[in-house]
């Protein structure tokens, strides 16, 4: 038994000298416990075992401190490695975030540039349309001026012709009167009544001529008024057709809210831009139901653009439209 205990202690010392790990330390403690139990059952060698136990325990205490130091060193190394790993992952994540941020900034920049290009294209288109409109209006104005000049010229020539005819007749009448006067001198008494009759007859002719001139002027004025009325009526018909077409175009895309009670009425003012595009929608008389009013506004925007006439007068009439929409079952 003593030999076995000594052998066990020798093994313990060898294990300690080889600097076991934490698992080896656990085995060492079990072996020490087992050796102590064996020694307790051997009275003949108790004193020798007790003498040798002290250095073993001292050696174990020293080696345990060293092992703890090594374990602490390993823990610090592990913590340092974990910290570096966290720092590495954090750096990777930071780079990824920076990459995402750069990509987002690039996307936003491209979006802004695209919006800027679209805005410039729209402004260019509007400017071109405005220029074309001005050119067309200028052409129409020049045409109107030419027509007025031609009409004034024709009227002036007509008046000059009438004046010439009147002067010619007046001259002829004067010559006739002079001849009659000469004849009257010769035949004063006989021609007195005849001269009076001629005078009356001439006055009648003059009045008749004046009546004819006035009647012709009245006919011309009446004809011009009739033409103006016909043009106005034609324009009103075209305007009515355009308004009906615009309303049908809006009602075609109008998505009426089902929850709106029947009989609700919404009146809106629509401002049209050159080309028929909608420039603005204003609710003038609300239905009292916000979804219903919003559906009307959305339908107007969605139905844009609308038919746009070539006539300047019709454009003025269609610059602002007032329309009433009624919700019916």
Tally: H helices and E strands in the chain: 6, 3
Q: What is the mean pLDDT of residues 185-192?
A: 85
Residues 265-300 pLDDT 10s: 999 999 999 888 999 999 999 989 899 999 999 999
The confidence score (pLDDT) of residue 47 equals 42
CA within 13 Å, CB half, 218: 6
Residues 223-271 pLDDT 10s: 666 666 776 787 788 888 988 999 999 999 998 888 788 888 999 999 9
- pLDDT(11) > 70: no
The SS3 of residue 321 is strand
Closest by CA to 267, choosing from 239, 288, 241, is 288
Domains of the chain: 2-89 (no CATH), 196-329 (3.30.1150.10)
Rg (CA), the chain: 60
Q: Would you say 12 and 28 are in contact if contact means Cβ atoms under 8 Å apart? A: yes
- Report the side by side order of strands in the sheet with 265-272: 278-285, 265-272, 320-326
The confidence score (pLDDT) of residue 221 equals 67
- Cα separation, 139 vs 147, in Å, equals 12
pTM over 0.85: no
């Amino acid at each position: 038994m003593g030999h076995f205990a000594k052998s066990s202690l020798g093994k313990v010392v060898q294990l300690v000298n080889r600097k076991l790990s934490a698992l080896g330390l656990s085995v060492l403690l079990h072996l020490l416990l087992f050796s102590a139990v064996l020694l307790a059952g051997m009275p003949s060698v108790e004193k020798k075992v007790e003498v040798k136990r002290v250095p073993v325990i001292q050696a174990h205490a020293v080696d345990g401190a060293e092992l703890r130091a090594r374990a602490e060193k390993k823990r610090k190394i592990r913590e340092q490695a974990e910290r570096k790993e966290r720092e590495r992952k954090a750096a990777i994540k930071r780079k990824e975030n920076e990459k995402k941020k750069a990509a987002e900034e690039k996307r936003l920049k491209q979006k802004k540039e695209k919006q800027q290009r679209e805005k410039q294209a729209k402004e260019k288109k509007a400017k071109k349309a405005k220029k074309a409109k001005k050119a067309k209006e200028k052409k129409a104005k020049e045409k109107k001026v030419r027509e007025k000049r031609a009409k004034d010229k024709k009227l002036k020539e007509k008046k000059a012709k009438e004046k010439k005819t009147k002067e010619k007749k007046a001259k002829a009448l004067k010559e006739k009167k002079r001849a009659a006067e000469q004849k009257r001198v010769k035949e004063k008494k006989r021609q007195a009544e005849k001269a009076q009759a001629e005078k009356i007859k001439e006055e009648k002719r003059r009045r008749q001529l004046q009546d004819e001139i006035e009647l012709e002027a009245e006919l011309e004025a009446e004809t011009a008024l009739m033409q103006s009325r016909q043009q106005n009526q034609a324009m009103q018909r075209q305007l009515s057709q355009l308004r009906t077409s615009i309303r049908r175009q809006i009602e075609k895309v109008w998505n009426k809210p089902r929850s709106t009670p029947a009989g609700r009425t919404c009146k809106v003012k629509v401002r049209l831009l050159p080309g028929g595009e909608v420039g603005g929608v204003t609710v003038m008389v609300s239905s009292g139901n916000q979804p219903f009013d919003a559906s009307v506004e959305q339908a107007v925007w969605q139905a844009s653009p609308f038919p746009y006439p070539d006539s300047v007068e019709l454009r003025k009439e269609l610059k602002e439209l007032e329309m009433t929409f009624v919700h019916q079952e």
